[in-house]
Chains A and B, each alone.
Chain A
């Protein structure tokens, strides 16, 4: 018996892989799909803001969004004053009005199928300004934060952000093959593929209540964290932080939304909550509608971070680790088998390094397009706001 014990112990340890997580595909009938989604925070000081209308899609669906097009939307003020929205496509409707912040407003939505939805009365909240926005560099990376102070009217805050950064390909090339002249020439500014701008909207819900803190000062509220070595700090990074004060009803909605997405799956997870909002179908108030539309002032601040300011920072991305400039030369001479036409017409490889014989370019060493062309991953267009 005594000799068996250690063997059993080892055996046990080897097998003791306790809990486990597996992928799960639910079998559901798509009966409850097609719920209207309304999203938007409308600025009351004239800043252009968007209201988005869409429908839920089945979980198995490949499309992410099913936009609701052709709706007539207006904000109704006291005494029946109407402020119409402008459809700007893909279920997006634009609004830019200066509103009296002491009055109450209602949102009215007429869908193209004739259904009418209305919101609960809303009162704009004047968001206090962002006191400071900045970042700290630590051993884990970079943390972007804001400081603000709440007041009597604006206790709860919602932050959203949009990030933009310069994206450089692993191998830079300034040359282009022009099939019409069967030659390689330098790229024009419009044709550059070595400098792109990548933009991503945020996908988290950041909420905080200022009355939790002394004097309602929200100090160093983390907006986002950039882990060490992330590609975002390749060269220059910018983040636009939007601060929106919201009311208690809004907090409830956002917390439910957050709870339903962020917190699920751990052993202590709460029950998922039914998410609704402040929009209702006029004819059938029980019909589910998801969306909490708010009115208020959006306070924004943009922060830039340069790679030089946070060095050392080594951006690593495994997917480009196999990127090399090929040693085989593609020759300008059309009689060569490896000539420009044969190699560059498909666009799979691009010329990178010119090969000189004396002063004449006799050919190019090339690299795969995915290592050279930043437009595959980001946008070449320099954003309007971008400051160098």
Chain B
């Protein structure tokens, strides 16, 4: 390690010198009064691009005494070395060779390296490999007046010659980097001169190439892949991005990192993993809904590839809906959301789908106490790969436990999900990607009521590479979510309730690099949303329930966006974007009419209005601004600032504090306007100890309008006139987040601390009801203090342990403050909304990952992951409630996991 460090420093120093020299002339001026020849050469190296190569002993006694005035080096050397049996020759790239006795012949070198530079070499022997690593490649030819050049090429696998996408090509001086695209191509702009280019391949070793860049050129690289991944590889690039990218509030987690986290019930959970990041919290353990920077759970855009997941949970929240084996990387955008994303106020959680490997058919799987998963991947023919995965549960026995311990009364529950990811290369410049996702949940929550819900998403994406600078993609897809409740309490009143929504979309996007300093992204999103807000039908022959249906809704949404990332100079990198959203709520629809300026109360109704099918009823439109800037203080630290404005046209109607499968969505209509929000953020980012430590501090302030809260006693399900029950609410949130991450070494991990508030206030113009008499109140997820500690210790490459701790202030609740008797029973009188809090939350977890051995030829690689969730066995109250029992009011606190929960999962890969 120490050695590597030294080399890095040495490289760093020498390169910086070189960089300085490339811009200087070759003429030499100066007074050299009796200096050693060595000192002379040093001075020349300082002022000119020349580099000297010599044997120390040859020149030890040569002295120089002369004055130069724009003299050429040739002339000067001829004078100095005259009669000293020393000769000089000029090599390529201003190299000067001093030799004794005989002039050195340097003309061979260019031709010698030529074939290596032009084409990808097939390297079969170790000698060749070593040669490639240590050889300095000459790239391009100089163009007058240019000080930088673009290096581009393809990265491919040494073993199977497949191109490698997602590999990072970078240099370590200014941390310029490029990630290879799906064709394995990269492009990086560097100053002219000598560089060491590093290639980090996910799951591979770091490779390096020495280059001497003289002009634009091509370098194709074949690198080795290995069967186990070095976490170091992945995190390094993140560390560099930490300070160089203009965006803030971007958190990326690879599956490798996520898999190390202790998982509840042993299932690696994509969404739960996100909860360890600063600024993200949740109202409870049995809730996949998460809150980002004081925003509601429905304000998160959860994307799997291009598909939107409307309900990202399984089993009313114990598991997240996405199989971790289908995901390559999870990215959470809390601020600095690029213009190509839109439609939600708080955040974007983007799960990058994984595609099948192209060398052979293989698979991964896991067997846990509650769930099992299996996925198979591989090539089909020469240009197509597939990845198919499925997951299912046998969780009934857990529910039986829950039933005994809490008031779950669930008699059965099950879920499954299926993923299909296909990729097909159409040619050198085109690729088709298909992702399909289907999930199904069914459970009985009490003996007479059966719940079920489905997610169904598919997307087809066509990528086209116009040239090295322009890449385009077109995606067409459909997302749907529906749920159903069947109540069989009494045959006469048995019912079947259903909710459903679907969206069909077309997205076209272009990513264009322009004049090296700009990165444009522009495109168009078209979306058609249809919604069945609720429908009740009699269930069974005897039922006398009258069928009822809230009228279907539909809307079209068009968004145009353009963004530019512009590198003004080494210090400033700015990125700006504009997204224009046009939303139209369409008929058919029959609604009440209200007088102008009324608050849509029942007593305000003046009549009814019907609009025909497809006729626009209400249009909302407006721009969204995205702006962020980075100012590099130095190579290790930067300041960033950003402003984001967002619009959201759909609303989740939920009268509970957690996302539950009975929550329905509502489209903005003539009464309910789109939610709007704007966030201002400021951040300081610093990398320390050679990028091993990453530190960031981010400050944000956010305002939101047109949020929905509910009047007392609101009905949400089967309500034809939701506008009468919702209250127009304003919100604001602010906070500061500190994050320190150590990503290398045997002991690694992160610490984060967040202080944040999230406050709501009923819009003073709301005529129906002012919650807490119009004063500002805490939102359901206003948890001011939140701290997370993650420690990972790698005992050996095959054995590592992770310890995590999670603390947060208890969430606000509305507590009873007094009691009274009414209708023959004792009742509770509640305090102001969210005026009280549940006790603080503290949880420690431990997990151990054991890898099998890494012999290449083993048919299957296996690993065990085991651990304990909630090591302290602390009962973290999830909710507090009071129930009259035999006329006496009793308070209870309910904890979801009140004990240590051990888990074990066997994972395999073949």
Chain A: residues with CB nearer than 8 A to chain B?
1, 5, 8-9, 11-12, 15-26, 28, 30-35, 37, 39, 54-59, 61, 64-65, 160, 201-205, 212-214, 217, 219-220, 222, 248, 252-253, 255-257, 259-261, 264-276, 286, 288, 290-291
A350 to B757 alpha-carbon distance, docked (Å): 68
Residues in A with CB closer than 8 Å to B408 are 19, 267
Q: What is the minimal beta-carbon distance from B542 to any residue of chain A, in angstroms?
A: 11
CB within 8 Å of A: which of B700-728? 710, 712-714
A266 to B316 alpha-carbon distance, docked (Å): 13
User: Any chain A CB within 8 A of the CB of B54?
Assistant: no
Q: What is the minimal beta-carbon distance from A149 to any residue of chain B, in angstroms?
A: 13
Q: Which residue of A lies closest to B903 (CB)?
A: A12
Q: A19 and B828: CB pair below 8 A?
A: no
Q: B824 and A261: CB pair below 8 A?
A: no
Which stretch of B77-85, B242-250, B333-341, B877-885 is in the interface?
B877-885
Known: A9-B904, A203-B887. A267 touches B316 (CB 8 A): yes
Residues in A with CB closer than 8 Å to B372 are none
User: Any chain A CB within 8 A of the CB of B99?
Assistant: no
Q: B546 and A24: CB pair below 8 A?
A: no
Residues in A with CB closer than 8 Å to B875 are 20, 22
Query: 6 new A-B pairs (CB below 8 Å) besides A22-B893, A268-B662, A286-B773?
Result: A26-B816, A57-B820, A160-B824, A212-B545, A260-B830, A271-B655
Q: B883 and A261: CB pair below 8 A?
A: yes
A203 to B888 alpha-carbon distance, docked (Å): 11
Give 7 pairs: A residue, B residue, CB < 8 Å, sorted on A.
A18-B401, A20-B899, A21-B406, A57-B818, A257-B823, A265-B881, A271-B655
A205 to B286 alpha-carbon distance, docked (Å): 30
Q: A18 and B544: CB pair below 8 A?
A: no
Residues in B with CB closer than 8 Å to A19 are 402, 405-406, 408, 878, 894-898
Known: A12-B369, A12-B903, A267-B286. A257 touches B827 (CB 8 A): yes
User: Any chain A CB within 8 A of the CB of B28?
Assistant: no
User: Any chain A CB within 8 A of the CB of B890?
Assistant: yes
Residues in B with CB closer than 8 Å to A24 are 877, 880, 891-893
Q: Which residue of B lies closest to A269 (CB)?
A: B656
Q: What is the minimal beta-carbon distance from B636 to any residue of chain A, in angstroms?
A: 45
Residues in A with CB closer than 8 Å to B112 are none
Q: Which residue of A lies closest to B866 (CB)?
A: A8
Q: B819 and A59: CB pair below 8 A?
A: yes
Chain B: residues with CB nearer than 8 A to chain A?
286, 316, 369, 398, 401-402, 404-408, 445, 490, 492, 544-546, 548, 602, 655-658, 660, 662, 710, 712-714, 771, 773, 780, 814-831, 833, 836, 850, 864, 866, 875, 877-884, 887, 889-904, 906
Q: Which residue of A lies closest to B718 (CB)?
A: A212
Q: What is the minimal beta-carbon distance from B732 to any residue of chain A, in angstroms?
A: 20
Q: B823 and A160: CB pair below 8 A?
A: yes
Known: A12-B903, A20-B875, A259-B713. A266 touches B818 (CB 8 A): no
Q: B822 and A21: CB pair below 8 A?
A: no
Residue from B827, B891, B895 within 8 A of A20 (CB atoms): B895
Residue from B713, B829, B891 within 8 A of A252 (CB atoms): B713
A8 to B864 alpha-carbon distance, docked (Å): 12
A366 to B286 alpha-carbon distance, docked (Å): 59
Residues in B with CB closer than 8 Å to A57 are 818-820
Known: A15-B900, A265-B879. A26 touches B891 (CB 8 A): yes
Q: B820 and A26: CB pair below 8 A?
A: no
Q: B712 and A275: CB pair below 8 A?
A: yes
Residue from B369, B713, B887 within 8 A of A273 (CB atoms): B713
Known: A17-B898, A18-B402. A201 touches B824 (CB 8 A): yes
Q: What is the minimal beta-carbon distance from A356 to any residue of chain B, in angstroms?
A: 45
A288 to B821 alpha-carbon distance, docked (Å): 16
Q: A59 and B817: CB pair below 8 A?
A: yes
Q: Which residue of A lies closest to B710 (CB)?
A: A271
Residues in B with CB closer than 8 Å to A272 are 814, 816, 828, 830
Q: What is the minimal beta-carbon distance from B221 to any residue of chain A, in angstroms?
A: 40
A255 to B602 alpha-carbon distance, docked (Å): 17
Residues in B with CB closer than 8 Å to A269 are 656, 879, 881
Residue from B286, B656, B658, B884 within 8 A of A203 (CB atoms): B884
A217 to B884 alpha-carbon distance, docked (Å): 32
Q: B822 and A37: CB pair below 8 A?
A: yes
Q: What is the minimal beta-carbon distance from A172 to any residue of chain B, in angstroms?
A: 27
Residues in B with CB closer than 8 Å to A22 are 875, 892-893, 895, 898
A261 to B658 alpha-carbon distance, docked (Å): 19
Q: A219 and B402: CB pair below 8 A?
A: no
Q: Which residue of B lies closest to A291 (CB)?
A: B822
Known: A61-B819, A201-B824. A267 touches B658 (CB 8 A): yes
Residue from A31, A160, A261 within 8 A of B828 (CB atoms): A261
A35 to B818 alpha-carbon distance, docked (Å): 9
Residues in A with CB closer than 8 Å to B657 are 271
Q: B883 and A264: CB pair below 8 A?
A: yes
Known: A35-B818, A64-B826. A15 touches B899 (CB 8 A): yes
Q: A260 and B899: CB pair below 8 A?
A: no
Q: B660 and A268: CB pair below 8 A?
A: yes
Q: Which residue of B lies closest to A221 (CB)?
A: B493
A124 to B591 alpha-carbon distance, docked (Å): 30
Residues in A with CB closer than 8 Å to B836 are 26, 28
Q: Which residue of B lies closest to A206 (CB)?
A: B823
Residue from A16, A20, A54, A276 within 8 A of B406 (CB atoms): A20
Residues in B with CB closer than 8 Å to A259 are 713
Q: What is the minimal beta-carbon distance from A365 to any residue of chain B, in angstroms?
A: 35
A215 to B346 alpha-carbon distance, docked (Å): 48
Known: A220-B492, A264-B883, A268-B662. A59 touches B816 (CB 8 A): yes
Residues in B with CB closer than 8 Å to A222 are 490
A201 to B866 alpha-carbon distance, docked (Å): 55
Residues in B with CB closer than 8 Å to A30 are 817-818
Known: A8-B902, A33-B818, A271-B657. A23 touches B892 (CB 8 A): yes
For A19, A57, A264, A276, the residue with the greatest tally of chain B CB atoms inside 10 Å of its CB is A19
Q: B405 and A271: CB pair below 8 A?
A: no
Q: B773 and A56: CB pair below 8 A?
A: no
Query: Shortest 4 CB-CB distances between A and B: which pairs?
Result: A20-B898, A203-B825, A265-B881, A273-B712
Q: B286 and A255: CB pair below 8 A?
A: no
A322 to B85 alpha-carbon distance, docked (Å): 125
A143 to B372 alpha-carbon distance, docked (Å): 45
A265 to B407 alpha-carbon distance, docked (Å): 8
Q: What is the minimal beta-carbon distance from A285 to any residue of chain B, in angstroms?
A: 11
Q: Which residue of A lies closest to B285 (CB)?
A: A19
A57 to B405 alpha-carbon distance, docked (Å): 32
Q: Which residue of A lies closest to B602 (CB)?
A: A248
Q: What is the minimal beta-carbon distance from A326 to any residue of chain B, in angstroms?
A: 32
Q: B405 and A21: CB pair below 8 A?
A: yes
A290 to B820 alpha-carbon distance, docked (Å): 9
Q: A16 and B401: CB pair below 8 A?
A: yes
Residues in A with CB closer than 8 Å to B401 are 16-18
Q: B866 and A257: CB pair below 8 A?
A: no
Residue from A17, A214, A270, A291 within 8 A of B655 (CB atoms): A270
Residues in B with CB closer than 8 Å to A256 are 712-713
Residues in A with CB closer than 8 Å to B771 are 274
Q: What is the minimal beta-carbon distance from A97 to any residue of chain B, in angstroms?
A: 23
Q: What is the minimal beta-carbon distance from B795 to any residue of chain A, in angstroms?
A: 16
Q: B405 and A265: CB pair below 8 A?
A: no
Q: A23 and B818: CB pair below 8 A?
A: no
Residues in A with CB closer than 8 Å to B829 are 32, 35, 56, 275, 288, 290
A28 to B398 alpha-carbon distance, docked (Å): 36
Q: B895 and A264: CB pair below 8 A?
A: no
A17 to B405 alpha-carbon distance, docked (Å): 7
Q: Which residue of B lies closest to A203 (CB)?
A: B825
Residues in A with CB closer than 8 Å to B819 are 56-59, 61, 64
A204 to B883 alpha-carbon distance, docked (Å): 12
A20 to B892 alpha-carbon distance, docked (Å): 10
A376 to B280 alpha-carbon distance, docked (Å): 59
Q: What is the minimal beta-carbon distance from A118 to any residue of chain B, in angstroms?
A: 19
A160 to B824 alpha-carbon distance, docked (Å): 9
